[in-house]
Amino acid sequence: MRRYESRVALITAAATGLGRGVAFRLASEGARVMVWDRDKDALDEVRADAARAGATIECDALDMLDKEQVRNAVARLAARQGRIDVLVNNIGGSLHVPFRFLEQTDEDWERVMDVNVTACVWVTREVVPHMQRQRYGRIINMGSKAGRFGSLFAGTPYVAAKGAMQAFTLQLAQEFGPDGITCNTVCPGAILTPRVEKFLAERHTPEKRAEVLASIPVRRQGRVEDVAAAIAYLASEEAGFVNGATLDVNGGQAMSI
């Protein structure tokens, strides 16, 4: 499929893990993709792999916790490509803060909220006016199973931050739907990226991990490709009547009516 011919997609914090998988999936369907990350070495690997695959992926190194850098990077992208059609707010993470609430500090909360919420607010604020001018846009916010159902290994700040992103999605969907812009949330379970694999190994015993696996109806852990496929749908023209939705990608481990 070439659903994204002539479309421009921005994916934040996407040099590795889920974001990288999304970038290559959208590029494989014809999108011109911009990947942001602060890890310059990882971005070099993205460039090299994209060149080998014949994918149209550009990279920009910046600190997304610096508002001015975010503003300038969006302006550069819009000037170079002439439009921004898709925004995937992928930046986030639990940042390995203590799991127990009473062990967490104000600094832990501030860091996690900045990465998972504030950075996404800044990016979205700069991108939306471009989408309004073209009367078209797709915004996908990265939520989490943790933000909907709690977590067995990520701390309270992460759970709260991902819950906030779902609420953020609902308001954006309502406010900008009339402009042709949809906004939806994807909520993965524990997808086995290298970072998550390391995190689980630190906080769960092999027995506990086996127990968790048995609780997933499809009897496997999630893969990057599972999330990339979900985002590829929500970011497409086909999903034009899907707005303010939350798509759980957790193998049925947690369900709701």
- Catalytic residue numbers, as ranges: 158
Contact between 14 and 249 under an 8 Å Cβ cutoff? The reply is: no
List Cα–Cα distances, 185 to 210, 243, 246, in angstroms. Answer: 28, 9, 5
Name the CA dihedral angle for 213, 215, 217, 222, rounded to a multiple of 10 degrees.
Answer: -40
CA distance 166 to 207: 32
Cβ–Cβ under 8 Å, residues 40 and 117:
no
In angstroms, the Cα distances linking 68 to 2, 43, 217 are 34, 21, 45
Residue 103: partners with Cβ closer than 8 Å, 6 or more residues away: none
> What CA–CA distances, in Å, run from 199 to 36, 148, 161, 196?
23, 20, 18, 5
Residue entry with tokens 């996690």: 112
